[in-house]
Amino acid sequence: AFTTSTRPIERIAPGIVTRKSVNEPLETGILSIDSMIPIGKGQRELIIGDKKTGKTAVAVDTILNQKGKNVKCVYVSIGQKNSTLANTVRKLEERGAMEYTVIVAANAAESNAIQYIAPYSGIAIAEE
């Protein structure tokens, strides 16, 4: 479902007191992560690491595990090759995950400005 609504990507976050507390868990489907790191629905999570350490695999597995759980996923790809992103999209399509997933891509060929703004765009989409 496409939308025609817009909003600024940089906006002031609501105060801590006015925010709804995170009280519903989000399971990644990866036992070691789920048992050590409590993640809640609606919570922002950033996966940082060196090249070839499995960041994409963790994100894709988590997205795939959300099927049928009424969760909307936003995957922001920054600095990846087009072929790598295409493989990720293919995996998500094969498993029916694109029905509840939005992909924001700022690939390696994009300018630094686009790569800088991509995570802000992803958050704006997720918060809408």
CA atoms of 10 and 14, how far apart (whole Å): 12
Q: In angstroms, how far is CA 3 from the centroid of its own chain?
A: 18
Q: Residue 102 is encoded by which pair of tokens?
A: 């939005």
**pTM of the prediction?**
0.85
- CATH class name, domain 16-127: alpha beta
89-115 residue pLDDT tens: 999 999 999 999 999 999 999 999 999
Q: Residue 24 is encoded by which pair of tokens?
A: 């519903």
63-86 residue pLDDT tens: 999 999 999 999 999 999 999 999
CA distances from 16 to 11, 12, 21, 48, 111 (A): 15, 12, 9, 25, 34
